[in-house]
Amino acid sequence: MAMDVEATALLTAQIVCKLADSNFYARLHGAVTKEVQGDDVRLSTLSEDLRNALKKSGWKAKLQNAVYREMSVLPSAALPPELRKEPVAYMRRAQAQWEKRVMKSLNSMCTELGVTLCQKRSPEEQKGLLSKWSEMGSDEPDLSRFRPVYAPKDFLEVLVHLQDPEVLNFDPGHPCRPWGLVQVPLEISTSEQLSQHFKELALHEQQTGLEDVTPLTSESFEVQREKLAKKVLETDESLLAQHFARKGCPNAQRAALWLLILNVSMGAEEIQKYEQLKSAVVQQDLLVDNLIYKDVKLTASNDDYYFVFEDFLYQVLLCFSRDTKVLSHFEHNSATPSKTYSPGKMGVEEFATVYPPSGVIPFHGFTMYVAPLCFLYHEPHTLYYAFHQMYVRHFFRLHSVSSHPSGIVALCLLFETTLQRLQPRLFHHLRDIGAQPLRIAFKWLVRAFSGYLATDQLLLLWDRLLGFNSLELLAVLAVAIFVLRAENLMEAASLASAEAVLADLSTVKVVPLLQLALLVASSDDVDWRSKHGAHPPTLHPSAARLPARTTNRSRVQEVGHGMGGGGRGGAGRGSDLCREFCFG
């Protein structure tokens, strides 16, 4: 109990310290001062009067949201300060070495191309950029000489070579060596823990994003969800909105619900800050600007869903690179801000400058963290703050070496471990033909499936990521997709053919796949016939639709085409797919 009290006191002190340095504190202080000066406030009941006044004015909910936001990102107060960024020593070393490689690559590019990391734009350049701010896609610089600093496959090699020096590591080919690529002894969620943590995704729970209902039931459920969403928004409570999102957000309220979950409120200060970032972009030309232009061109501009948002993407990403507020997330990130040094002073911190000002160097695919949000937010400043919060809460974990349960290392290990357990024959087959599953799935994980799923399905997935405040569902979905395509994958004879089977995910339905994967992962050693009757629960066919070019008789069997049966994800319907899930 003493430790609990001490930890609570430390956490409280951390939160108070963080809030005291924020703009929110100044606004709260002003609101409290105004209430204290009111005629109806008495000294004898000051505390109670203030509470009532703050509740009535909405500041109580705003304070709760601010506290909850800090609680959701702060590391354990019980950890020593030096371990709060990353408690595992070999993870810290690997991240530091990776950062050096990235900066070396960036500096080499400067030398090769004869350009500087940063230079002031001329008055003519500033005027030209301002005049084309809303249509930058039509006049980007010559990008032919620039290349991404790194791609996900480069980062994967870092994870593959991670080793715990205190654990015996077997050489490749040794019979005792684990099958997967990630060899670190990291603690990950068990099947039972996953099932419990994501219990709102159980088969008997109604969900936004399922189609296997009658029109009447579907309309009734969606109408109820919309009404409930409006009530949640009226409360203005982040935690309530987060719990609501676990079953999906109605399209009409999704944008507002996400802002509430992320504690984003748009006022004069936020708009002014965005304009300052825009001004910084206009004044300074950074090398990373070209990397951003290049990445947008290589990714979103070539995507059927996102190419129309090209100008928005430039605006948001260029402003993000100048935002020093992004630096605060490094307090709970294993990474450190990227830095550049004065000539001849390499490694001397007094001569170091954070570069870019955000401390984040964009990599190939970074644009895809922003692109889906363009469907929700049509004002650049609102889009910017939504992305900012998504990144500092979640997305940074997908390209940092850490031991966090939602970090990319744990996600990779969770994916490999779960797939091996559910489909050992498939895993062994892919490994034998040189198609390690993680080499195919890694790009999905790093991008949080952005650019791979249809946008409506991606938003349903991101609803749950925000709702559960966890990225573990990315690994669960990746496993489910492999199992879904298992029959075709078993026929693959090379990495190229395996990649071809999984090349198009645009017809995958996210929610029913997640439901079934979580059910089977926690029940794969249970006697299905004794627990569920003659057949295991099954997946609605819409979850597994494949593109026409891969549809054949075996695929129809796989998705359970033509199955009859009842309500939302109800039990008692048989399918070959679920038998594959359950018995490999």
Query: What are the DSSP calls for 27-92, one per residue?
Result: HHHHHHHHHHTSTT--GGGHHHHHHHHHHHHTHHHHHHHHHHHHHHHPPPTTS-GGGSS-S-HHHH
28, 55, 78 — which closes off a domain?
78
Q: Tell me the backbone φ, ψ of residue 284, rounded to 5 degrees.
A: -115, 135
Are 245 and 291 within one domain? Answer: no
User: Is 162:184 a contact under the CB 8 Å cutoff?
Assistant: yes
DSSP state letters, 413-480: HHHHHHHHHH-HHHHHHHHHTT--HHHHHHHHHHTTTTTTS-HHHHHHHHHHHHHHT-SHHHHHHHHH
Helix (H) or strand (E) holding 119: strand 118-120
Q: What are phi and psi of 354, to 5 degrees?
A: -65, 130
Regarding predicted confidence, which is higher, 490 or 38?
Answer: 490
Residue 509 lies in a domain: no
Quick one: pLDDT at residue 347? 67
Q: Tell me the per-residue pLDDT of 246-265, one tens digit each, with 9 for 90 and over.
A: 999 999 999 999 999 999 98
Domain assignment present for residue 358? The answer is: yes
Residues 381 and 284 in one domain: yes
Looking at residues 477-499, what average pLDDT do you find? 96
pTM above 0.85, yes or no: no
Domain end point (choices 261, 281, 299): 261
pLDDT, tens only, 380-401: 999 999 999 999 999 999 999 9
Q: Name the band, by pLDDT with cuts 50, 70 and 90, for residue 561.
A: very low
Residue 528: per-residue pLDDT: 30
Beta-strand pair 339-341/284-286: unpaired
Together in a domain, 136 and 74: no
Mean pLDDT across the stretch 25-31?
Answer: 71
Q: Do 290 and 232 belong together in one domain?
A: no
How far is the CA of 497 from the CAs of 210, 488, 491, 578, in angstroms? 31, 10, 9, 24
Q: Which of 4-13, 109-118, 217-226, 450-459 has the lowest mean pLDDT?
A: 4-13
Of all helices (H) and strands (E), which one includes residue 555? helix 553-559
Same domain, 388 and 361: yes
- Sorting pLDDT into bands at 50, 70 and 90, what band is 567? very low
* Structural domain ending residue among the three candidates 78, 103, 132: 78
Half-sphere exposure of 6 (CA within 13 A, CB side): 5
Per-residue confidence (pLDDT) for residue 544, from 0 to 100 = 42
What is the per-residue pLDDT across 116-152, written as a single tens digit (0 to 9) for each?
A: 899 999 999 999 999 999 888 777 677 888 999 999 9
Report the range out of 103-112, 430-439, 548-557 with the highest average pLDDT: 430-439
Query: Does 460 reside within a domain?
Result: no
41-55, 284-298, 312-326, 376-390: which has the minimum mean pLDDT?
A: 41-55
Residue 127, domain member (yes or no) = yes
| Largest distance between two CA atoms of the chain | 81
In a domain, 109, yes or no: yes
The percent of residues above 90 in pLDDT, for the chain, comes to: 56
Over residues 204-220, mean pLDDT? 71
Distance CA(564)–CA(440), nearest Å, equals 34
Q: Quick one: tokens of 143?
A: 């990008």
Instruction: Say if residues 91 and 402 touch (Cβ distance below 8 Å).
Output: yes
Q: How far is CA 578 from CA 190, 193, 196, 482, 516, in A?
A: 20, 21, 21, 13, 8
The CA distance from 347 to 330, in Å, is: 19
Q: How many helices (H) and strands (E) does the chain have?
A: 26, 4
| pLDDT higher than threshold 50 for residue 85 | yes
pLDDT value of position 136: 82
Number of folded domains that form the chain: 3
Are 351 and 302 contained in the same domain? Answer: yes
Higher pLDDT, 269 or 555: 269
Q: Which of 25-34, 141-150, 312-321, 563-572 has the lowest mean pLDDT?
A: 563-572
What are the φ and ψ backbone dihedral angles of 427, each rounded to 5 degrees?
-60, -45
- Is residue 94 over pLDDT 90? yes
393, part of any domain? yes
Same domain, 99 and 152: yes
Let me know if residue 513 belongs to a domain: no
Residues 141 and 286 occupy one common structural domain: yes
Mean pLDDT score, 486-513: 96
**107/151 same-domain check:** yes
Dihedral angle computed from the Cα positions of residues 14, 18, 19 and 21, in that order, rounded to the nearest 10 degrees? 140
Contact between 180 and 413 (Cβ < 8 Å): yes
What is the overall mean pLDDT for the chain? 82
Same domain flag for 36 and 63: yes
- Tokens 């919309």 correspond to 226
- Full residue range of the structural domain in which residue 50 is found: 2-78
Indicate whether 278 and 373 sit together in one domain: yes
- Residue 199 belongs to some domain of the structure: no
In a shared domain, residues 228 and 361: no
> Which sign does the torsion angle of CA 98, 104, 107, 111 carry?
negative
